[in-house]
Amino acid sequence: MSFTDQAMWGFVQARELPLVLTRLSDFTIQEATQAYLEQINMPASEVLGSSVFDLMDPEERPRARDALQALADGTIDFYRTYRPLSQAVTHRPGVYLWSYAIDFGERRYALTQARAMRVPTESPLVEALGYEPVTFAIGLMDLSGVVETVSNNVSQVIGIKPDDLIGHDLLPTEQCDFWIRFHSAHQHSSCSMSLTYTPPPPFPDDVVIQCLLICLAGSKSFCFILSREPPQFIQESPSRTAELELRLRRIAQEVKASGVIHDMKRLPDPTRFPALSSLNARQWDVLTRLIGGDRVATIAHDLYLSPSAVRSYLSEIFRKFGVHSQAELLSLLRS
């Protein structure tokens, strides 16, 4: 099959990926996509090279600093939260964020996705890939397709050490030419595309690597993200989806907007309570807030649910843990 034929099946149309890369040593914004700039309603000239805290509501900055510092020192690898923005600067009330810690050599960065919304949905990256990535690598390549830098975990994803990839072409010539033509046709918009990436032998033939190529605003480099596509049975199995979701949450300990470190200390150990693996995303949200001391009315307000909906989620959680009340559940988890 020629590359043109493959593109008919494997090519994903232009998507807006609102991504920003923040250097965690000083919390300055290094790279951003046009889609991110549109979400915060700011031009690249006023964002790139500036402190990420300059965009935020002053009262929110201490919580934001706690969260990013936790990424910087390795306390957590991921968090998601809503951040109020400085309306005087951005003219936006706030954005919902998904932030990952990414290492390049000895340097650590935060890769953040942002959407101007309060109610969480699937992250833009999950929508682009079609699944929740357990591990993904990120890097930059120049206009000719040569890799400039790549995250340390690329060897876990494609079996190639960073030093063996840097300075070399990321894609075969045919794929690279296709991307350059595509970018040229969309250079005034926030564009990305998805290709199947084939690592050199002896990488297993039955493992599919998805490569997202992404335009960056005000940059002469392109961003790429490499992720292992899960087998079909994982995508279709609710139990496996729940397992992957729980794994991500265990790594992240899902930092809330208030009390980053304090909330993490109160979460139960999934190895001691197997019922945790059966909770869906919303049930987990309700449970973590209950453990944190929130009442039903507060949980309903934070999650944009009715109190009766929260009680319905709690009833299902009680059933899964074999208890009959909030007091019994909290006593069990804190035992």
Which of the pair, 13 or 30, is modelled with greater confidence? 30
pLDDT band at 244 (very low <50, low <70, confident <90, very high): low
Token pair of 309 as six digits: 């909906």
Topology (CATH level 3) of domain 3-232? Beta-Lactamase (3.30.450)
Per-residue pLDDT reduced to its tens digit, 22-40: 999 999 999 999 989 999 9
**What is the 3 state secondary structure string of 138-177?**
EEEECCCCEEEEECCCHHHHHCCCHHHHCCCECCCHHHHH
Token pair of 77 as six digits: 């690898």
Longest CA–CA span in the chain (Å) reads: 63
CB atoms within 10 A of CB 170: 24
CB atoms within 10 A of CB 115: 20
Q: Which pLDDT score, from 0 to 100, does residue 7 have?
A: 40
Token pair of 107 as six digits: 């340097």
Q: What separation, in Å, do the N-terminal and C-terminal C-alpha atoms of the chain show?
A: 60
CB atoms within 10 A of CB 54: 16
3-232 with 268-333: one CATH topology?
no
Domain boundaries, the chain: 3-232, 268-333
CA-to-CA dists, residue 269 to 207, 274, 284, 318, 332, angstroms: 31, 9, 13, 17, 12
Q: Average the pLDDT over 270-289 and give the result.
A: 79
Counting DSSP H helices and E strands in the chain, the numbers are 15, 10
Token pair of 284 as six digits: 């987990």
pTM: 0.66
Q: Which of 333, 293, 291, 284 is nearest to 313 (CA)?
A: 284
**Dist. CA 261–CA 218, nearest whole Å:** 35
Return the minimum-mean-pLDDT range out of 48-62, 222-236, 237-251: 237-251
pLDDT band at 277 (very low <50, low <70, confident <90, very high): confident
Q: Are strands 78-84 and 28-32 parallel, antiparallel or unpaired?
A: unpaired
Q: What DSSP letter does each residue of 181-241 carry, written as one string?
A: HHHHHTTTS--EEEEEE-PPTTS-TT-EEEEEEEE-TT-S-EEEEEEEEPPHHHHH-HHHH
Question: Does residue 20 have a pLDDT over 50?
Answer: yes
**Dist. CA 237–CA 244, nearest whole Å:** 11
Which of the pair, 128 or 241, is modelled with greater confidence? 128
Helix (H, G, I), strand (E, B) or coil at 100: strand
- DSSP-assigned beta bridge partners for residue 318: none
pLDDT band at 265 (very low <50, low <70, confident <90, very high): very low
CATH code matching the domain that covers 268-333, chosen among 1.20.1250.20, 1.10.287.1060, 1.10.10.10, 3.40.50.920: 1.10.10.10
Question: Does residue 333 have a pLDDT over 90?
Answer: no
